[in-house]
Chain A
């Protein structure tokens, strides 16, 4: 006997309640505050802001808490919130040359104006579990000195003076915005960079790594990596000039890439560019390498068929919110289509005599 039961609504409600309970975990353990997440899981917050395309550390921390630490889920929450926000306008381009750098390193020069500043990096830590942290998290105060005054010039500018690196001419055209217009191919560099900035860190890392291993290789030097705060300015029509509206932390990576010249371009160094919110070095370097690989056409290079050179492949698959949604949707009921496949396979088997063959075997 078969009685169809209508329980969808109740099941969903109960699942949500259970999820809330699981999220909280053992109630005898103190609850996480979003301030703790914002201050102590800062790199997770930075990733959520970058791929969520919304600079708001408090909301990112809330999303991380709500998503139980599933960062892609947190990014999803931020994206869904972001899309409902009204747009007041666009800021002036931020000036990363005027960045208050916490970290600034160049791999192409031993020393340079503005100096090499290591900053708060994991780079030279030994990856040994620090069991002291399990007991208490008190840290001695780090030594400090006054920041060197003045702007920190971009390394690529030094090469530019000699004409050794391709020009990156100033441009005032409004960049396209893939959150407002459907992504269409071919995508210009500004659009590709926007897509890469929002792209999944893991996917971007994998692609970048593939270029290093020969799938579209164009050897990259980290010309410069800088992390720090920049001011955001916006033209306010009522006052008639740009006003500083806030400060954001960015990671910027400029790569200097080998280039022996092509049919259209002389031998010179070329550029890859990465820019992300917060401190996200891995992502910004990956972005710069993939950016450079995608530029094969405008530089007159050969397409060797590497995945990282294929703008359509990269841009259509880099968004983890699109990817995870579509991937996970196969959990939804598909029994109608499955039924039609069942009928088809049964029919094909009947005609192929597969049933008889099986019976004979038994």
Chain B
């Protein structure tokens, strides 16, 4: 049931046109941050207003929409954004990655590879990868236009000199098509390899910072590194306690006050799909060994 008081997907058509122009420009110059006249949305800045505006601009009534936050469909802000579009656009929504034509995400890329028929929309808090090295927008824009990325390499080098590793574990900077250094939004660096050569269109929206950028399908995206310190996608060295997956990004869940913990897929749809297909993790209720150990009360985590 669409709220009739608002235009389809909330924004007026003029605004959508303006955003689409920014998206097209972004797709034409992969990794370049296009300024756009971000609107005030009925949700706070920093809570996905950029992603919401991009989604509003690309959604059509035939689309099926999925929203995830931290990889999960049922985190509160994902629920809130999904219901916003149910109300203002009346589009079909889904939690199944493969069924969605538009996926809005915060902090994760779904585990299941995306297809050419899908658009992945990222919510971006700080679009400028150089921001914490240089706070001035006027300076960072200059650095991008001159392709002057030495500062970033020095920062990564200093990390290695100090810690033996690059001490960036999320929002790990990438270089796009050998030209622009880009912030992939705060996804864990585990997800970085998925950014390159993706079949789907990737759009990045930063509402408060008024920037849109994009990766067209099959774009070359390289995580910054050094020959002797190659980039390494990392995750917790465990398997999912529920579905047994060893290749998915894991959340650590504290299960009791004795330091007990387990690891579960952060991508809830992926985990559910695997469990439905019969995969069982070593702490799943369906696992006989785990069920016997389950004398302790069930821990329910409200998401």
With A and B bound together, what is the CA distance between A1 and B190 in angstroms? 27
Whether A339 contacts B137 in the complex (CB less than 8 A), given A5-B300, A321-B45, A347-B165, comes out as: no
A82 touches B79 (CB 8 A): no
| Residue of A181, A334, A336, A341 ringed by the most chain B CB atoms within 10 A | A336
Contacts of A79 in B (CB 8 A): 40
Flag A65-102 by CB within 8 Å of B: 1 or 0 each: 00000000000100110111010000000000000000
Is B183 interfacial (CB 8 A cutoff)? no
Flag A306-334 by CB within 8 Å of B: 1 or 0 each: 00000010001000011011111100111
Contacts of B108 in A (CB 8 A): 336
B170 touches A341 (CB 8 A): yes
Task: Give the residue of B40, B136, B163, B250 whose beta carbon is less than 8 angstroms from that of A321.
Answer: B40
A312 touches B301 (CB 8 A): no
B210 touches A183 (CB 8 A): yes
B299 touches A334 (CB 8 A): no
Whether A326 contacts B107 in the complex (CB less than 8 A), given A8-B75, A351-B164, comes out as: no
Flag A113-138 by CB within 8 Å of B: 1 or 0 each: 00000000000000000000000000
Is A147 interfacial (CB 8 A cutoff)? no
Whether A325 contacts B44 in the complex (CB less than 8 A), given A333-B69, A340-B189, comes out as: yes
Flag A1-27 by CB within 8 Å of B: 1 or 0 each: 111111111011000000000000000
CB proximity of B185 to chain A, nearest CB, Å: 10
Task: Give the residue of B6, B138, B190, B236 whose beta carbon is less than 8 angstroms from that of A186.
Answer: B138
Contacts of A181 in B (CB 8 A): 37
Contacts of A329 in B (CB 8 A): 44-47, 125
Count residues of chain B with CB under 8 A from any CB of chain A: 77
Is B100 interfacial (CB 8 A cutoff)? no
Flag B136-147 by CB within 8 Å of A: 1 or 0 each: 111000000000
B303 touches A336 (CB 8 A): no
Contacts of B301 in A (CB 8 A): 2, 4-5
Flag B30-63 by CB within 8 Å of A: 1 or 0 each: 0000011111111011110100000000000000
With A and B bound together, what is the CA distance between A83 and B169 in angstroms? 37
Whether A8 contacts B79 in the complex (CB less than 8 A), given A336-B71, A337-B170, A344-B169, comes out as: yes
Is A180 interfacial (CB 8 A cutoff)? yes
CB proximity of B75 to chain A, nearest CB, Å: 5
With A and B bound together, what is the CA distance between A180 and B117 in angstroms? 32
Contacts of A5 in B (CB 8 A): 300-303
Is B76 interfacial (CB 8 A cutoff)? yes
Contacts of B35 in A (CB 8 A): 182, 184
A326 touches B190 (CB 8 A): no
Task: Give the residue of B69, B167, B235 whose beta carbon is less than 8 angstroms from that of A332.
Answer: B69
Contacts of A188 in B (CB 8 A): none
Contacts of B49 in A (CB 8 A): 325
Is B253 interfacial (CB 8 A cutoff)? yes
With A and B bound together, what is the CA distance between A44 and B70 in angstroms? 39
Flag B1-33 by CB within 8 Å of A: 1 or 0 each: 000001000101000000000000000000000
Task: Give the residue of A324, A337, A347, A348 whose beta carbon is less than 8 angstroms from that of B44.
Answer: A324
Whether A182 contacts B251 in the complex (CB less than 8 A), given A316-B137, A326-B125, A341-B169, comes out as: no
Contacts of A335 in B (CB 8 A): 70, 251, 266
Is A28 interfacial (CB 8 A cutoff)? no
Q: Which of chain A's residues has its CB closest to B75's CB?
A: A333
With A and B bound together, what is the CA distance between A351 and B96 in angstroms? 40
CB proximity of A323 to chain B, nearest CB, Å: 8
Is B268 interfacial (CB 8 A cutoff)? yes
CB proximity of A2 to chain B, nearest CB, Å: 6
A179 touches B37 (CB 8 A): yes
Contacts of B36 in A (CB 8 A): 182
Q: Which of chain B's residues has its CB closest to A85's CB?
A: B12
Is A342 interfacial (CB 8 A cutoff)? yes
With A and B bound together, what is the CA distance between A76 and B41 in angstroms? 9
With A and B bound together, what is the CA distance between A6 and B302 in angstroms? 7
Chain A residues at the B interface, C-beta cutoff of 8 Å: 1-9, 11-12, 76, 79-80, 82-84, 86, 179-186, 312, 316, 321-322, 324-329, 332-337, 339-344, 347-348, 351
25 residue pairs of the A-B complex, CB under 8 angstroms, read A1-B296, A2-B255, A2-B299, A4-B268, A6-B74, A8-B79, A76-B44, A179-B37, A179-B40, A182-B37, A182-B210, A185-B137, A316-B137, A327-B46, A328-B46, A329-B47, A333-B69, A335-B266, A336-B70, A336-B249, A336-B266, A337-B186, A343-B235, A347-B234, A348-B164
Given contact pairs A1-B296, A8-B79, A337-B169, enumerate 7 new A-B contacts (beta carbons under 8 Å).
Answer: A326-B46, A332-B76, A335-B251, A336-B108, A337-B186, A340-B234, A344-B234
